[in-house]
Amino acid sequence: MSVTPAPDHPAPDRPPGSRLARWTSALNGVLPVVSAALALGLIVGLLMVSASFGNSTGTLASSAEGTSSSAGGGGGAALPGKGKKVTLEFEEGDMYIKPNKVTVPAGADVTVNVVNKGSQAHTLSLLGKTSNQLQPGKSETQHWGVLTESTQAWCVIPGHKEAGMLVEITVTGGESGTAASGTTAAAGGDKAAGDSANAKIDPAAKPAAGWKPHDPTAPANDGKDVHEVTFTVTEKEIEVAPGVKQTRWTYNGSAPGPTLRGNVGDTFRIKLVNKGSMGHSIDFHASKVAPNVEMRTIKPGETLVYEFKAQFAGIFTYHCGSDPMIYHMGNGMHGAVIVDPPKLDKVDKELVLVQSELYLGPQGKPGDMAKMLAGDYDAVVFNGYHNQYVHAPIKVKPGDRVRVWVDDGGPNENIAFHVVGTIFDTVWKDGAYRVRKDNDEKGGAQVLDLQPTQGGFVEFTLPDAGTYPFLGHKMKNMATGGLGVFQVG
């Protein structure tokens, strides 16, 4: 008998409001943030897909007719595949399965051969029934048994199905007819159920007693030439807004991860230990190294030593680079490294603010990757928690000179960092000063504008007692949690 694959569809490229008075009132309790309309973006492609994917085709092979009585069922003798044995061949990679559509006759007894040609572990699981993880370069045979109606199979490792590792299996000639209607209805039902189950942020809620904010104080430069640190990857439940918890994928238990600091010429030696349930990695934007060597994905239980020499000054993002990258970053796997410019001036108070977005999944679960791909965020936050520096304002003494390092961890949104009630007399961005204190031009700046994974710092003073809001001056981002307050005096 002949069994023909449906045409492959190549995956997309994977490239990887009174102003001061209103904001000041936040100190009396909780900021009355109104809901802003969320932007729906186009679904972006994912990084690191096999270059050959679009040009390759899968192979389906059929064996001789079988005589197993178990091949009946569903449609009885009317099933065109009754008594037939069919073997399907699949190839998995990062992030694809090919072919991604197949057709088999109803009643056929199906066996599957699958090979993993990707760089990390995958599964191929019928209807999401968990199968063993298939390591890179390995192959296995699965017996799916008799199929009488259309169905799906996918990789069950978090985010992989949403990234494109899904096979549509159309069963023809059965009582249910072609699979399109049944498959579509099932997928739609899953999506609707998932959306309704996602956690929601109450902007009027307050943190529970005993809650502590993420300390925004910048780490001191210890003056050492070599900085050795261990980053342990764990997947843990963390509160991201009052009463809202998500499973965050973390470096050393926090999202964002720890901030590192040193000088130009210093060596950073990071031991990455994966104690998570899936493959993870790390990519330091401050480094010049071979990505396939030091940024490679490591399996649970493995370790990797990532070493680089800091050659340029600035604040640089680090993040997990494992596929799907947007899912690992969107679940909290990012942080910052500060490499001090030479002759950096002393200041009275030095802070680090990392902006990122929250794409909420169900309570206690990882974020919603479909929303990440669409840019449909639930909140924009500083240092991982909704409006945390409204709930716990950052205290500054009158007249203190303040430096704020800002890193846009993304994965999608930009920032125009602004402090209400002052002007930045010093601005550093992308390796150079844009404005210097006491410059001949008498220039100042009102915002520090950054795209995802860009960074810089600003310096300013707050001379008078009072409350000074800081925010990303993209108003819908401020309204969804990207706001804090400096409390002076």
Q: What is the DSSP string of 217-283?
A: BPPP----SEEEEEEEEEEEEEEEETTEEEEEEEETTBSS-PPEEEETT-EEEEEEEE-SSS-B--E
User: How far apart are the C-alpha atoms of 99 and 263, rounded to whole Å?
Assistant: 50
285 annotated to a ligand binding site: yes
The CA distances from residue 197 to 2, 193, 365, in Å, are: 43, 6, 10
Strands 101-105 and 166-172: parallel
Would you say 214 is a known binding-site residue?
Answer: no
Paired residues of 455 in beta bridges: 407
Query: In angstroms, how far apart are the furthest CA atoms of the chain?
Result: 91
Nearest-angstrom CA–CA distance, 94 and 48: 7
Residue 81: what are its φ and ψ, rounded to 5°?
A: -95, 5
What's the number of CA atoms in the CB half-sphere (13 Å) around residue 146?
21
328 belongs to an annotated ligand binding site: yes
Residues in the chain: 489
Using DSSP bridges, classify how beta strands 334-340 and 260-263 pair: parallel, antiparallel or unpaired: parallel
* For residue 300, cis peptide bond before it (omega within 30 degrees of 0): no
Distance CA(24)–CA(127), nearest Å, equals 52
CA 344 to CA 335: how far, in whole Å?
22
Task: Report the candidate in 437, 54, 74, 364 with the shortest Cα–Cα distance to residue 197.
Answer: 364
Instruction: Confirm whether residue 155 is marked as ligand binding.
Output: no
Residue whose pair of structure tokens reads 């990505």 in the numeric block? 291
Which residues are CB-contacts of 114 (< 8 A; sequence separation ≥ 6)?
Answer: 89, 90, 91, 92, 124, 134, 139, 140, 141, 142
Residue 280 marked ligand-binding: yes
DSSP code of 480?
T
Selection from 407, 401, 388 nearest residue 485 by Cα: 388
Rounded to an integer, what distance in angstroms lies between the CA atom of residue 4 and that of residue 104? 8
C-alpha–C-alpha distance, residues 31 and 480, integer Å: 11
Distance, CA of 356 to CA of 354 (rounded, Å): 7
Token representation of residue 43? 């679904």
DSSP assigned state of 369: H
CA distance readout (Å), 441 to 31, 151, 366, 436, 458: 38, 68, 49, 10, 18
Q: Which residues are annotated as a binding site?
A: 280, 285, 319-320, 328, 333, 473
Q: Which residues are annotated as a binding site for Cu cation?
A: 280, 285, 319-320, 328, 333, 473
